[in-house]
Each structure stands twice: as structure tokens, then as C-alpha cells.
Structure 1
């Protein structure tokens, strides 16, 4: 089975740079999908998230001076 996907010329150029000489675009995309690390949503605890928010707030306040 074959499926076509549309990409911009810029995207195709970027993919061509990543593609190995001995692989197809299908193999390239499969390799990229398998090696890409999944986004771990909710990885921070509530305390860590609160700390990050506080740090961002302090940082923004330091620029307002």
C-alpha cells in the first residue's frame, strides 16, 4: 500500500539532507519516528511546576526594573 504526503519544498530539502544515500524516504521517516524521543507530558510534579513558574516570574520581574 502506498500513501502520498505533501510537504513544502523547504521541508523536502531538509529531509533530503537527513536521508542516507542507501535509504528510501520511507526508511528515513521510519528511522526518524523511531529515534525521536516522545514528549513526556506531565513529567514535572506540582512542586516542580510551581518552582518553574516562580522562576519565570522572578526572571520577568528582574527585567521590569
Structure 2
């Protein structure tokens, strides 16, 4: 079964950058919908990485005058 999904040109450009050369649009969307590697809750637990990330965000906001 085939479907049509309408997206803006901007969204399609963003997706195009994520799409692998040998991948169909369907395969790209399937990979993005099932790829759980981008989230790893607790990955920084027991480290100071969360604190460093918060400090980096704070410095970045200060440098932009926010």
C-alpha cells in the first residue's frame, strides 16, 4: 500500500540531509521512526556531564545577550 505525506520544502530539505545515498524515502522515515539511539535516559548519571552541559548553555545564552 502506498501513501502520500505532504511536507514543506524546508522539511524535505532537512530530511534530505539525513537520508543516506542508498536509502529510499520510506526507509529513511522508517529508520527515523524506530531509531532509539538518539535518546539514552540516564546516560550521564554519575558523571558531571549534565552540569557541564547546563553551564555551556548558560554561557551561550549570556554571549547572545539573553
TM-score normalised over the length of structure 1: 0.54
Match of 2:14 in 1: 14
Q: CA deviation at 1:19?
A: 0.1
- State whether structure 2 residue 2 is matched by structure 1 residue 5: no
Q: CA deviation at 1:4?
A: 0.1
CA deviations 1:3-59 (Å, max 9, x no partner) are 001000000000000000000010000000101468xxxxxxxxxxxxxxxxxxxxx
Specify every segment of 5 or more residues in structure 2 that has no aligned partner in the other structure, as ranges: 40-66
Superposition pairs for residues 1-65 of structure 1, below 5 Å?
Answer: 1-36=1-36
SS of residue in 2 equivalent to 1:15: helix
CA-based RMSD of the aligned residues comes to 1.6
Higher helix share: 1
Runs of 4 or more consecutive aligned structure 1 residues displaced over 6 Å after TM superposition:
none
